[in-house]
């Protein structure tokens, strides 16, 4: 995971909630870490799908065109 390690998330929880029990901190940090990983995978897949479907060209308002639209116009 690129964002936060499990240990770093635990540290942040300890700073934010010093009265929280260690077991609960570890549980919440693990859950958050898992969610970050899930979202990271989701975003990577969406980006991969987008760039397979779109060709980037030029700048301004018309900076991309879809590959499927290009096939229909030919």
**First-residue to last-residue Cα distance in the chain:** 43
Between CA 66 and CA 6 the distance in angstroms is: 40
Where do the DSSP E strands lie in 1-74?
A: 54-56, 64-66
What pLDDT score does 12 carry? Answer: 93
What pLDDT score does 11 carry? Answer: 95
Between CA 71 and CA 7 the distance in angstroms is: 50
**What confidence tier does 52 reach under pLDDT thresholds 50, 70, 90?**
confident
Between CA 6 and CA 38 the distance in angstroms is: 14
Between these two residues, 4 and 68, which has the higher pLDDT value? 4
């Amino acid at each position: 995971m690129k964002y936060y390690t499990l240990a770093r998330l635990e540290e942040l929880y300890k700073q934010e909630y010093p009265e929280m029990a260690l077991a609960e901190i570890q549980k919440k940090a693990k859950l958050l870490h898992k969610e970050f990983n899930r979202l990271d995978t989701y975003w990577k897949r969406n980006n991969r799908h987008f760039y397979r479907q779109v060709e980037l060209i030029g700048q301004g308002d018309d900076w991309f065109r879809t590959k499927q639209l290009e096939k229909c116009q030919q």
